[in-house]
Every structure is written in C-alpha cells, then in structure tokens.
Copies of this chain bind each other. A is one copy, B any other.
Amino acid sequence: MSTPLDKARREPESMKARILTVARRLFGEYGFHGTTTRMIAQEVGIDISTLHYHWGGKKDLYESVVLDINKDLRQKLLEVEGMIHDRPLAERLTISIDVMTDYLFLQPCVSNLILFRYFSKNRYEGNLDFSVPEFTADIAFSMGLSTDRKHVSPETKMKVVALMNSIHNFISGEGFFRPMLDLTHERYVKMVKDTLNFIHIPAFTKAGDG
C-alpha cells in the first residue's frame, strides 16, 4: 500500500498537475457535488488551502478538469483519424472502437465525467456553464462517416451519439455490468468490443449516410 506521500516523492509531477489528476478521478467517480475539496486534498496528501492556492475554487478546478478531459479526448480522436486513413468503412469503425475503448478503459474517469455532464445538473448551473466544445461532428469526420467536417446529417449524428454513449456506458458501468455477467476484466473488455462492433457497424454500413 503506497501512501500519497510516497507517490509524491516518486513522481516529479507538479503539485498543480497532481491535484488535477486526482480531481479528475474523484469528480468522475462522485460527480461535482459528491466530491469535496477535502477528499481531493486528502488523496493528494496535501492541505485544502494548498489546493485553493493552486486552483482558486472548486468550480475552477472542476472546469479545468472538464476542459482537460475534452482536450485529451480530442487528441485521441486525431490519433484515430491518423490511423484509419484510406481504409474501408467497416475497418475504420472497428479500429476506432478498438482504440477508443482501450483508451477509455485506462481512463474511465473520462467516460465518467462525460456522462455526468450529459445526464446531471448541478446546483450552480448558471455559474459553471463554461463553454466546452461539442465535437460529435468531428467524431463523425474522424471516423470517416462524413466527408464534411461541419455538415453532418442528423441521422448520422444520432448514430455517432449512440455509439459514443454505448462505449462510455460500458466503460463507466463496468463495476455494475461485469458482476452481472460474471466475467474477468479481460473477457469483459473483449465482450464490450465484440458487442459494439456487432451492434454498431451494421448501422453505418447498411444504408446511405451523409
């Protein structure tokens, strides 16, 4: 069992970055109101005031976490975009699903936080609706489902939303769904990929999509 202090000594990461990392995970697990600044500080192994010194308030930290996550996700999409160049549609989708799923299983808090933002309100809604870029259209383009980065048909957008949500659901819901199916983590991962491929690829290859 390694204490937060041990971890701090081993990793030469800046305190600000360490706080962000822990905050990302806790906000993802417990949501905005479910996470307290003290929980974050304790996990990092510092005092609350150190947290406030680096990040101002809880809302600022949360905002940074969300923007950070979006940055990471966008970068991963660009990576995918580079990998699937010039391949047939079904293959592009399989690769996209494979890469995104692997990435998110390593960073489940990313899926957690995205789902939180989709499905839950917070009490200070007016205050923390900072602008987060929406990139469903970019995903459609990255996966090679649309030739135009800006104009994507509503039908295709719906399918992209459904696919991305399915991925996030299986990642975030592992703790709930895996015991239900009684699988090891490895078998669960494989089954998630197989199911996603099985369900979603025909949706994009069947009919004509913009």
Contact = CB atoms under 8 A, between A and B. Distances in A.
Interface of A: 29-34, 39, 112, 115-123, 134, 136, 154-155, 157-159, 161-162, 165-166, 169-170, 172-173, 176-177, 180-181, 183, 191-192, 195-196, 198-200, 202-203, 206
A100 B118 CA distance: 21
Q: Which one of A177, A200, A202 has the greatest number of beta carbons of chain B within 10 Å? A: A177
B30 A123 contact: yes
Main secondary structure of the interface of A (DSSP, over half): helix
Nearest to A182: B154
B29 A31 contact: no
A161 B183 contact: no
**Copies assembled:** 2
Contacts of A203: 198-199, 202
A10 B119 CA distance: 32
Contacts of A31: 31, 33-34, 120
A199 B159 contact: yes
A112 B122 contact: no
A179 to B, nearest CB: 9
Contacts of A173: 118-119, 161, 165
The 3 closest A-B pairs by CB, nearest first: A33-B34, A33-B33, A199-B203
Given A176-B118, A200-B199, A191 B34 contact: no
Contact of A172 (B33, B118, B154, B172): B118
Nearest to A198: B203
